[in-house]
Amino acid sequence: MSFDHTVDVLVVGSGGGALTSAIAAQDRNANVLVVEKSNQYGGTSAMSGGSIWIPNSHLSTVAGGEDSREAALEYILTSVGDRADRKRIEAYVDFGPRMLKFLEENTHVIFECQPYSDYYPELPGGKRGYRTHEPYPMHARALGNDLETMRMPHHAIVVMDRYSMNNVEGKYLLTQAPGWQMVMAKLMARYWFDIRMRLRGKRDGRLTMGNALIGRLRWSLNDRKIPLWLNAPMCELITKGSQVLGAVIEKDGKRIRIEARSGVIIGAGGFEHDQAMREQYLPRPTSTEWSASNTNNTGDGIKLGMEVGAATDLMEHAWWIPVIPVPGIDRPWAIFAERSLPGLIMVDSKGRRFTNEAAPYLEAGAAIGAHHTEESSSVPTYCIFDNTFRQKYPFGPLGPGAVMPDSTLPPGIHKGIMHKAETLAELAQGIGVNAVGLEETVRKNNQYAASGKDPDFQRGDSYYDRYYGDATHKPSPCIGPIEKAPYYAIALYPGDIGTKGGLLTDENARVLDKEGNAMEGLYAIGNTAASMMGTKYPGAGSTIGPSMVFGYIAARHATRAND
C-alpha cells in the first residue's frame, strides 16, 4: 500500500489519555503524531475537573492515606457490578501507580493526592480519601502561543466567568465554609495583579483542574517536539485483513494516508453529541443539549472502529449527571455537588422525591431518567429550595443571593430556568407539579431536617453525601428546612459528561473484534472504549484516570518491540 506519511504511533484525539499515550510512546523511542479533529486541543479533559482516580499510589502514602492492591480490587469489583472485565480492572490497579510515577519523573505533570471520598466509601475496600489526584496549577506563560488553542474550562468550574479555582478552593466556595471569603479574595487578587495576562485578555493565567492537566501535558509534548495537528479529523482506518495499518486524516482540505507501523491509538471521546447515536443506544428521552461535554464528541472513533469489525459494549450507558440547560450557552450547567447542601429537594411531576439528592452525580442523573414515566414525569425534575438557601449557597449558574441578587441575574435565567413564587402552591402551579404532593413532601423534608435523618432515601448517611454538605448546619449537613418565602424551582435534566459505551478492549487496550480476538494495530482508550468501570463511577476521576492509564498501557504495548 502507498502512504503519504509514516509514523510509529498515530494518536487520534488530544485529551488526557491521548497526550499521555503520545508521551509514553515517544519516550520508548517511537515516532509519534497526534491528530485532533477540532481547532482546539484538550478534549473534554481540558474542560473537566482534571482529577484522576488512582488507588494505592505512592502519592496517597505521602499524603497520609492507607491503601493496598487488595483493597482497591475489592472495592472496584464490588462497586462496578458484573459489566466489567476483571483483567482490565487488575491492569488498571497495577499500572495506575506506575503511570503516575512515569509522569512525575519524566514530565511536567505533577499531581497532589486529595482527601476526596470514594463515591461508595462504605462498600468493602472503599476509602474516605486519598485515591483522587488533582493536577497542580500552572501558569499559562509556559505554553506561549499554545494557550490560544487549548480548550477553555467548562463555565461551571470558573468563578464569575473569570477566576480559576482548584477543587479545594471550590469546596470552600460551594459550602461557604469558614474562610471562603479569604479564598475568594485570593483568587481575585491573583487574577487582577497578573498584569501580563490582563493585557492579553480575560482568561485567567493561573491554569487549574483540567486546564492544568492538559497544559502540563502539552508543555511536556512540546519538550519532545511531538507534532499535534489541529483541524485534522480521522476519516478512515486503513486495514489489511484484520490488521490496522494506519488511518486517513483530512488536513487542509487534503486526505492524507498515514501509516502507523506500531499502532493507532484512538482517544477521541464518546458519541454524546451525535443525536442519532443517542437515540439508537441511550434510554429516551435523550438530547445532545443535555450533554455538558466537548461538543466535538460525535462518536467518530467508535463508528470507524465498528466499520472495520470492532465489537462494542455498554452502549446504553453514559456518565450521567443532572444538568441545567441555560439559554445562550452551548453546553448545560452540570450539577456536580450542590445537591448535597441542606435546604433543597428534587421532585417529580407529582411533587414527590424519588432519590437521594446528595448521591454521587452518576446515581442522581441516572435516577432522573430511570424514574420517568407517563404517570410520574421526572424529565424534567424540579429542584426546590427557599430564600434561605438562595441567599447562602450557589447553585448552578446562580451565585449566592447575598452577592448575586435576583435583580442582577441575566434575563435568560429569569425567563428560562428559574421559577419563583411566594407560596409553594403558586410555585407548583407555575411549573406544572402537583401542589398537594409538593406541600406534603416539603412538610416531610422539614421533619427530616429537624431530626437529621432521611428514612426515605438515607440522604446524609454516607460519608460521601456529607463531604459536600454544610458542616456548620446541624443536625445534618445535607438536610435543611424549606420554609422561608420566596420559594424557587429550577428544572434538572438527565444529562451527561460523556458516554460510557464504546469499542470493546482487552487489558492492553487492544480493540477486540466480534469474535473476541484482538485487532492488531488498533487501540482504544477513554470514552472511545467501553468503560472498564462498567455501569458505575467508583470515585472522582474515574473517567480521565482510566483514559490516562490505558493510554500509558497502549503506548507500552504498541512499542513493545522497542524493549
| Model confidence band, residue 327 (pLDDT cutoffs 50, 70, 90) | confident
pLDDT value at 506 more than 90: yes
Tell whether 360 and 301 lie within a shared domain. Answer: no
pLDDT confidence of residue 410? 82
Q: Give dist(CA 117, CA 124) in Å, integer.
A: 14
| Model confidence band, residue 310 (pLDDT cutoffs 50, 70, 90) | very high
pLDDT value at 416 more than 80: no
Tell whether 121 and 268 lie within a shared domain. Answer: yes
pLDDT tens by residue, 123-167: 999 999 999 999 999 999 999 999 999 999 998 899 988 999 999
Q: Give dist(CA 555, CA 532) in Å, integer.
A: 18
What mean pLDDT is predicted for residues 72-82?
A: 93
pLDDT tens by residue, 224-238: 999 999 999 999 999
Domain with residue 32: its CATH number is 3.50.50.60
Average pLDDT, the chain: 96
What mean pLDDT is predicted for residues 348-374?
A: 97
Tell whether 54 and 133 lie within a shared domain. Answer: yes
pLDDT confidence of residue 82? 82
What mean pLDDT is predicted for residues 369-392?
A: 96
pLDDT value at 415 more than 90: no
What mean pLDDT is predicted for residues 479-503?
A: 98
pLDDT tens by residue, 239-289: 999 899 999 999 999 999 999 999 999 999 999 999 999 999 999 999 999
pLDDT value at 412 more than 80: no
Q: Is residue 178 part of a domain?
A: no
Q: How many CB atoms lie within 10 A of CB 182?
A: 10
In percent, the amount of the chain with pLDDT more than 70 equals: 100
Name the domain boundary from 465, 496, 527. 496
Q: Is residue 37 part of a domain?
A: yes
| Model confidence band, residue 472 (pLDDT cutoffs 50, 70, 90) | very high
pLDDT tens by residue, 42-59: 999 999 999 999 999 999
Total number of domains constituting the chain: 2
Residue type, 542: S
Q: What is the DSSP string of 474-509?
A: SS-SS-----SSSEEEEEEEEEEEEE--EE-B-TT-
Q: What is the DSSP string of 262-301?
A: EEEEE----STT-HHHHHHHS-SS--GGGB-S-TT-SSHH
Name the domain boundary from 476, 496, 516. 496
Q: Give dist(CA 164, CA 149) in Å, integer.
A: 18
pLDDT confidence of residue 442? 98
Q: Give dist(CA 46, CA 213) in Å, integer.
A: 7
What mean pLDDT is predicted for residues 342-369?
A: 98
Q: Give dist(CA 365, CA 321) in Å, integer.
A: 4
pLDDT confidence of residue 329? 84
Tell whether 224 and 340 lie within a shared domain. Answer: no
DSSP 366: H
**Residue 143's closest CA among 191, 51, 207, 210?**
207
pLDDT confidence of residue 1? 78
Q: Can you read off the three cell numbers belonging to residue 248? A: 486517513
Tell whether 306 and 357 lie within a shared domain. Answer: no
What mean pLDDT is predicted for residues 208-213?
A: 98
Tell whether 388 and 420 lie within a shared domain. Answer: yes
Tell whether 97 and 231 lie within a shared domain. Answer: yes
Q: Is residue 347 part of a domain?
A: yes
Tell whether 226 and 363 lie within a shared domain. Answer: no
Tell whether 491 and 546 lie within a shared domain. Answer: no
Tell whether 466 and 532 lie within a shared domain. Answer: no
pLDDT confidence of residue 353? 98
CB 34 within 8 A of CB 22: yes
Determine the 3-state secondary structure of 452 from DSSP.
coil
Domain of residue 229 covers 1-151+208-317+500-563
pLDDT value at 291 more than 90: yes
This prediction has a pTM of: 0.96
Name the domain boundary from 462, 496, 530. 496
Q: Is residue 262 part of a domain?
A: yes
Domain with residue 465: its CATH number is 3.90.700.10
pLDDT value at 12 more than 80: yes
